[in-house]
């Protein structure tokens, strides 16, 4: 894990409060979020040698799912406790990934660095201006023709926001999470 932002920002930790972090994995299993992650990876279709970034990687669940593809993995999250859990989880699974402390609105990678970018259930944590900054940053770090796959609550209307950021967006795919019956939209977008 490396780094700090050039500007410290407030952020909402996974599940909203730091003290709830131990329940994060339980919630992931109970809601069947793993199924959403498998769908995301299938839709992005990363291959060996692709460079893949997970923005708001949390404890590394989506990176662990993506690791089975042989892609080169990178994760960014502002929460050092989440990153520490991700590092342990990925190490135990035998998956290598570069994990950095950072913010979605300020990705410290050169332009056109990634073939695929993921973000899962993070967008709703950002205010309106930060959402637009995040999407501009994702577009900047994606290679032309690169694929961005985002999953978030359908209340976000993320597809419209992603299209406004200059992506070509496919129709939204939806999944219901168990227990909460929350509907999750999976957006697939291509950078120009």
In a domain, 75, yes or no: yes
Identify which of 64, 43, 37 has the alpha carbon closest to the alpha carbon of residue 189: 43
* Cα dihedral 151→155→159→161 (10° resolution): -110
- Segment 125-137, tens digit of pLDDT: 899 999 999 999 9
Residue labelled with tokens 């920002």 = 9
What CATH number did the domain enclosing 60 receive?
A: 3.40.50.150
In a domain, 3, yes or no: no
Q: How many domains does the chain have?
A: 1
DSSP 8-state symbol, 70: T
In a domain, 127, yes or no: yes
In a domain, 11, yes or no: no
In a domain, 88, yes or no: yes
In a domain, 2, yes or no: no
pTM: 0.89
Contact in structure between 2 and 75 (CB atoms under 8 Å) = no
End-to-end CA distance of the chain: 31
Q: Could you list the residue range(s) of the whole structural domain that residue 129 is in?
A: 16-190
In a domain, 6, yes or no: no
- Segment 21-39, tens digit of pLDDT: 676 666 767 777 889 999 9
In a domain, 166, yes or no: yes
* pLDDT in the model for residue 73: 98
Contact in structure between 75 and 60 (CB atoms under 8 Å) = yes
């Amino acid at each position: 894990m490396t780094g700090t932002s050039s500007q410290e920002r407030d952020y909402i930790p996974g599940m909203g409060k730091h003290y709830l972090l131990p329940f994060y994995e339980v919630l992931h299993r109970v809601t069947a979020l793993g199924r959403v992650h498998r769908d995301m990876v299938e839709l992005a279709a990363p291959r060996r040698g692709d460079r893949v970034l997970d923005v708001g990687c949390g404890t590394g669940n989506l990176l662990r799912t993506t690791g089975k593809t042989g892609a080169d993995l990178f994760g960014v999250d502002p929460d050092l406790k989440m990153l520490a859990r991700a590092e342990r989880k990925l190490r135990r699974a035998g998956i290598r990934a570069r994990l950095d402390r950072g913010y979605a609105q300020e990705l410290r990678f050169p332009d056109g660095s990634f073939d695929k970018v993921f973000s899962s259930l993070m967008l709703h944590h950002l205010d309106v201006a930060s959402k637009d900054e995040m999407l501009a940053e994702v577009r900047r770090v994606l290679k032309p023709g690169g694929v961005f796959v985002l999953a978030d609550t359908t209340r976000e209307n993320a597809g419209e926001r992603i299209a406004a950021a200059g992506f070509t967006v496919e129709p939204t795919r939806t999944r219901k999470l168990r227990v909460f019956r929350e509907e999750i939209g999976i957006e697939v977008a291509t950078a120009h």
